[in-house]
Structure 1
């Protein structure tokens, strides 16, 4: 029985959180109010220690705590300010006095106040005595303390050591009780560091990993032996101690690596709940902004020990600091953050809106993109002039957009995403996947984004309104998951299966046949051990390689009751993918755009998706490539929304929006912050479809559609 339970379990072992309360809910102001903030979150001592101070740094820092500063923040339309507070556990008491002054100004003028905390490192220079007395530091496989990049005085700490969590909670308590803050900005909110760079392998990590294994496997020797080949759990060490590279570069099939990933993700979830419940107990209206670098091309579970689904259960806003700001690049690639917004399940996404080096149109585009994909939350408008880019630059552009947003806020409330197609980035399957799985997911998603298909991307449960479920080469699927997908199809759902999906069970053991065999065509065969078909039976002039491996070029269609299935043997060729490792075997986190493209056989994929949807998407937008769309349904009114964002440098003309709507009950209107945009719509209903034509789109428009059946 236990063997079966552990075989079919999720990525995070939630039993290790059973001793913790789970009372916290998202504060009402986060879900009901606009979020637009200004940052001033580097402490004065940190600016000086890093060599980034200015000649008038005291004057600039003092200004960041004045009533004038608060009024200017409000003047650009911001609703929140995030100020410096605790950098690596050091709080300068002279600076803290200024924080109390600032808190009073914010309260007087109705500005939400957040504070910045970074708790994954400690200032070794200011805590030298404490570090001699207490064991706090993270240590790599060689036993050496690690630091934040080349800032060697910022030593990484390990949250498997209780004193670090105690100090973290004490800092949170002080911010909430003494400053009365509305928001905690928890930067570097991760547990265990980054594999290949500074991942912790200290004695505390090792002890907790052994305890983790013993609790999971120690009471069932038979299951333990089936999992590891033996029952000597006390002898199992964390992986990555001496191998080069120190992480698996393909599928993660080593059971100890699998358990280590699960251990790290579980511990991150545990720390997340500890911290969020601690804040809730002090003040349930305090929101949490967490920063653990939301990843779309990287295996975050393997590298950083978290998955977005469980992480976003404990934060209200997920910080994102990637370089994929919305634009068309010089090569014509459609760069955007649609994936990131959709992966931050249940939370809003935090992005930087303004690069002063770019024209004002880019600022308008970033705010529009955030409003469209982040339900109106445009997040960071800039920073105090003594910190980073001055928030006052292009202040009139920011204020004009945010004023418009406030006037139309009713249309950003109580929304749910419309998802004709859901790409299932199942958390455990992705945590153990080879890089090709990520490439497959990204290229499939890119086509759906560029084609403006109603789309959702999930790591957990797929939305109830999903009509097509995409499985992007998810080799690791357990029996329970395969059964759930099978029932989805048998109930009339449609399925796009790619590559080696379901060829392995939840532990990565190879099946004799697809786990999804009940819904796959008989002609679809399990991939052989030889990857390239021309190499199969190379020394046998009689046996055909294609017969041994199946035809990679043939895409099979299959009807299963009311459901439809398309099987694609291979969407992305492995030879097109670059190495993910640098020459020194560290992970390459550089800006890589390899998979910001549609697949080679994009037209065939479009036809397959159209067949799966029966040619009847909920929304179908015809527009120039480079126009993005995102769709919502308002729960209480039944209104439908099509948010349109133009990535081009000039307006585009004549956009048609087709929508499922009943004849004679179809009404549409347009909302736009663009000054010179055409606001005239042409509406036409025919049968069960309605068509709205917008003659001109400058940067951003929202098509509002009301139908009689939407109010049922």
Structure 2
């Protein structure tokens, strides 16, 4: 055994278990499951741990709790016990999967006070099951007893639960537990309905987060008391902060609690594409630390415009999602629905990636990202700015800026708004993408960052609302940005209607005739840029040095074409302002919501403007350059004496709805890595298996790669 392997063996399971597999059992699997097949599959995929159904909504073992519903085909079987025994024979860690958010009618009738009800006392149901209340005895007494029973019988390393957060934000539970607890905790009666203008409803929102975190802590006290300090209750989370808010999961609070985060984000979605998965990894590591292990459930069944639980996902679709996650620091975790399948193609999807991961995992862990650009996010902004339309207000700007950076191959890291001061020392540029809701302390951290010489790129309504989403009397960042808000909107634009000829969105940027700012690089052949968004009316503060880089052209008719001429070709309304701070940093503000507009349309001009602004703000402090064709997601890391660069080829892979049917190889690609403190003697390509001689000149190390198919991983050492 090597020294590295010996050291790993001494680590707790959650530090050394990198590859995971899950068989999400169905009720009839106790009848048909063939354990020998699964053991062989575990070996092929090189997994080190498995997730297997235990109890909650369906029990797969002979529970002593009469009200815990048993799988229809269980009979006298103990399928959980069989999986645990097989996993132990293979030397694998075991996580017991739970689903605790609903139960049978018999359970409801026995304990009606443990279940979600509306203001009239009517229980909430779906598919014949009754939703359990997170504040009731079901969560506080019954589930802890079930956890203790499973620990006593099977000694799992820990637990996962993909429905631990209970009902979504769309339901206000009025059971006696919720009424009593909310009154005790807040001093108020429960809000009658969702009303963002009601301060009690906003308090209920924050309270709802705290209730879930309280249960997280309770379950971990139970499992660690019964199973030892390393027996962890891990729930499951989704790394998309906009999607996660619907379930009241506080990602920051969860990330601060455990050294391993089980991420249930199984595939790309219509908005975010494959690049979302590398972003998942960097966002969660930013919360839990880069020494944490973050496995992610990766679907082998068909997802998309239509989902088919038993059909095999196209192999290239699965693999590209997997390699994108690995590039972001995600640990691979195959996921199948059911223990028996007639579509056996799915059992070949993950194997090559998992085997490659095992061969190269020494370069995939214990590393730090190399990125000097931070993109700020927060759950409060999703709640109290996003409110009833978080996708429009928050998801689109976030997606727009992160996609623009990815497309221009600029390494960046997500930064939680509460961590700005903590992470500022490693950053040259901070980006606030329409981060309207900010606390006073977060604004102060931004001010200190700029006054220490950092550069700032921000957009839209950033910092104009307080922590509850209420308008501020004055703009708190005016002193460091030189921007004064006039509290007006020009050309308000909403969602695109079905009619393509949307008058309100037919607006443009006007570029100056001469003396153009460097942010406008690449636009020499045009005097206008299509926009499609709305404008926050602002003006430069006196003496600030901030100047308008582009101005606004108001909307005019788009149809019929004879009417499509500019009624007001010029205004003095600034849409993009830039300047330098006395401390040495650069400031760039998009008064027009370019990030949201780009997130909606993917119009290249808008992405170029965003990337140009960040590049200018960095003022030459660029750590990576990648030249050559294709849409590449580039993630750069540092280990001691080593740089590691992932190149994931997303060319042609962003059609949605749709599936990846063919990889489109790109090349040649020339990579330049800033390596001032290291002179690499060797470049290893971990996918193609080649070794190249790097060229080191002027603090840059460069290599040329002839072609990248789906991905490449370059090790400079």
Deviations 1:586-605 (A, max 9, x none): xxxxxxxx648367522222
Partner of 1:130: 110
For 1:404 and 1:509, locate their aligned partners in 2 and report how far apart those are by CA, in whole Å.
51
Residue 497 of structure 1 pairs with residue 458 of structure 2: yes
Query: How far 1:640 sits from its partner (Å)?
Result: 1.9
For 1:409 and 1:333, locate their aligned partners in 2 and report how far apart those are by CA, in whole Å.
25
Query: How far 1:682 sits from its partner (Å)?
Result: 5.1
Query: What secondary structure sits across from 2:471 in the alignment?
Result: coil
Query: How far 1:27 sits from its partner (Å)?
Result: 7.8
Change (3 A) 1:78 1:95: farther
2:250 aligns with one of 291, 294, 307: 307
Query: How far 1:324 sits from its partner (Å)?
Result: 1.1
Deviations 1:155-211 (A, max 9, x none): 1111211343211111212222211112312120104x2133x44232321221222
Partner of 2:124: 146
Partner of 2:66: none
Change (3 A) 1:611 1:693: same
Residue 627 of structure 1 pairs with residue 632 of structure 2: yes
Query: How far 1:272 sits from its partner (Å)?
Result: 1.0
Query: How far 1:313 sits from its partner (Å)?
Result: 3.5
Partner of 2:96: 115
For 1:546 and 1:597, locate their aligned partners in 2 and report how far apart those are by CA, in whole Å.
19
Residue 656 of structure 1 pairs with residue 670 of structure 2: yes
Change (3 A) 1:525 1:641: same
Query: How far 1:665 sits from its partner (Å)?
Result: 1.6
Change (3 A) 1:560 1:705: farther
Residue 382 of structure 1 pairs with residue 336 of structure 2: yes
Q: Is the 8 A contact 1:663 1:690 kept in 2?
A: no
2:264 aligns with one of 320, 327, 330: 320
For 1:142 and 1:292, locate their aligned partners in 2 and report how far apart those are by CA, in whole Å.
32
Query: How far 1:478 sits from its partner (Å)?
Result: 2.6
Partner of 1:618: 623
Residue 640 of structure 1 pairs with residue 580 of structure 2: no
Query: How far 1:638 sits from its partner (Å)?
Result: 4.3
Partner of 1:209: 182
User: Which sits farther off after the overlay, 507-516 or 395-404?
Assistant: 395-404
1:80 aligns with one of 34, 39, 49: 49
Aligned-pair Cα RMSD in Å: 3.3
Q: Is the 8 A contact 1:176 1:283 kept in 2?
A: no
Deviations 1:678-710 (A, max 9, x none): 72535222212222221111222211123xxxx
Query: How far 1:427 sits from its partner (Å)?
Result: 3.0
Query: How far 1:117 sits from its partner (Å)?
Result: 0.8
Deviations 1:17-64 (A, max 9, x none): xxxxxxxxx9833333322213143344xxxxxxxxxxxx55413x2x
Q: What is the TM-score normalised by the length of structure 2?
A: 0.74
Deviations 1:471-509 (A, max 9, x none): 122222232221111111111222112122222333444
Query: What secondary structure sits across from 2:51 in the alignment?
Result: strand
Residue 257 of structure 1 pairs with residue 194 of structure 2: no
Q: Is the 8 A contact 2:96 2:156 kept in 1?
A: yes
Query: What secondary structure sits across from 2:668 in the alignment?
Result: strand
Equivalent residue runs for 1:540-619 within 5 Å: 550=539, 551-572=573-594, 595=600, 597=602, 601-619=606-624
Query: What secondary structure sits across from 2:357 in the alignment?
Result: helix
Query: How far 1:107 sits from its partner (Å)?
Result: 1.2
For 1:274 and 1:359, locate their aligned partners in 2 and report how far apart those are by CA, in whole Å.
41
Equivalent residue runs for 1:193-592 within 5 Å: 193-196=167-170, 198-214=171-187, 236-239=188-191, 241-242=192-193, 246=194, 248=196, 254-281=198-225, 282-298=227-243, 300-301=244-245, 303-314=246-257, 316-321=260-265, 323-324=267-268, 336-344=276-284, 345-346=287-288, 348-355=294-301, 357-375=312-330, 377-386=331-340, 393=345, 395=347, 398-434=350-386, 435=390, 436-459=393-416, 460-462=418-420, 463=423, 464-521=425-482, 524-532=483-491, 550=539, 551-572=573-594
Query: How far 1:519 sits from its partner (Å)?
Result: 0.8
Residue 185 of structure 1 pairs with residue 142 of structure 2: no
User: Which sits farther off after the overlay, 663-672 or 431-440?
Assistant: 663-672
Query: What secondary structure sits across from 1:275 in the alignment?
Result: helix
Q: Is the 8 A contact 2:123 2:130 kept in 1?
A: yes
Query: What secondary structure sits across from 2:644 in the alignment?
Result: strand
Q: Is the 8 A contact 2:17 2:93 kept in 1?
A: no
Q: Is the 8 A contact 2:24 2:335 kept in 1?
A: no
Partner of 2:529: none
Partner of 2:87: 106
Equivalent residue runs for 1:6-25 within 5 Å: none
Query: What secondary structure sits across from 1:557 in the alignment?
Result: strand
For 1:322 and 1:82, locate their aligned partners in 2 and report how far apart those are by CA, in whole Å.
15
Query: What secondary structure sits across from 2:141 in the alignment?
Result: helix
For 2:201 and 2:605, locate their aligned partners in 1 and report how far apart those are by CA, in whole Å.
34
Q: Is the 8 A contact 2:447 2:480 kept in 1?
A: yes
For 1:182 and 1:259, locate their aligned partners in 2 and report how far apart those are by CA, in whole Å.
37
For 1:500 and 1:547, locate their aligned partners in 2 and report how far apart those are by CA, in whole Å.
7
For 2:45 and 2:679, locate their aligned partners in 1 and report how far apart those are by CA, in whole Å.
40
